[in-house]
Each structure stands twice: as C-alpha cells, then as structure tokens.
Amino acid sequence: MPIDATLPYDDDNVFARILRGELPSTKVHEDEFALAFHDINPQAPVHILVIPKGRYVSWDDFAAKASDTEIAGFIRAVGHVARGAGLVEPGYRLLANVGGHGHQEVPHLHVHIFGGRQFHEMIPPPRG
Ligand code: 5GP
C-alpha cells in the first residue's frame, strides 16, 4: 500500500531498521550521508536503493528540510553508486516515488537506481 508522504517520520519503517542494523541488507556503499543496498525484489539486473542517513519521509521532506550539506552528500552518493556499478557508459534510470500517486511504499526517502538492461516507456500504462 502506498504511504501518505505528509505524515511525520516513522522510526519503525523498514529502512530506518536497516540503517540501525536491526535488519540485514546487501550493502553496496555507505558514507556519512547515505547507505546503498540491493533491492530485495529487483526489477532490473541492477536495482540498488540509495537512502539518506537522516530521518526524511520522502523527496519532498528532504528537499524542504535537509541541509545543503546533506543534499549535496546524498546526490553525490547516488552518482558514486551508479558510477561504481558501471552504469554510466550503458546508461541507467533513477526513480524516487513520492506518496500515493507515486506509489511510495516505504516512508524513508529512497532513490532507485535501475540498470543492466534497455528501458523503454518512462511511465507504463495503468494496470487493469
Ligand atoms: P517504493 O515503492 O517505496 O518506491 O519502493 C520500495 C522498495 O523497497 C521496493 O522496490 C521493495 O522491493 C524494496 N524493499 C522493501 N522492503 C525491503 C527490505 O526489507 N530490504 C530491501 N533491500 N528492499 C526492500
């Protein structure tokens, strides 16, 4: 179920628990600002999630409240991870779902990095 991205941060969300080491993840990268790990249900040959270390519900929350240092650190981490995965030359796709219409399921900001195959339509048609 998509989340309401206007709600306050929930410290029990699954990515908060991964950040605290309470749940396992297959870590790709970690620095002061971000943690990157493989998605548990990959939608492409490469499907990595990058999350900020701070308590931000969504891209909107992060853009509004994070410091310039956190924003720069996070954006650089996304680039670093994609580059490190060898995705710059073939190309890749970034996605950040926000709230209900965006079908965001985990209420901690995450950027999806998809790669390893050709992507076509940017937004698939609605199901049903
Ligand atoms: P959203 O729809 O919120 O943008 O994407 C959430 C993503 O988190 C999904 O792609 C889902 O597979 C992934 N995910 C959910 N729970 C876990 C987990 O416990 N571990 C990992 N590695 N990924 C998860």
pLDDT tens digit sequence for 39-80? 999 999 999 999 999 999 999 999 999 999 999 999 999 999
pTM of the model: 0.96
Assigned token pair, 61: 């929350």
How much is the pLDDT for 23?
Answer: 98
* Average per-residue pLDDT for the chain: 97
Q: Average of pLDDT values for 2-31?
A: 98
Average pLDDT over residues 93-121: 97
Structure tokens at 18: 């991964």
Is 90 exceeded by the pLDDT of residue 99? yes
Structure tokens at 1: 């179920």
- The Cα 36–Cα 25 span in angstroms is 9
Q: Round to whole Å and give the CA distance between 66 and 14.
A: 21
Atom of ligand 1 nearest to the CA of 38: 22
38 flagged as catalytic: no
95 lines ligand 1 (CB under 6 A): no
Gap from CA of 102 to ligand 1 centroid (Å): 14
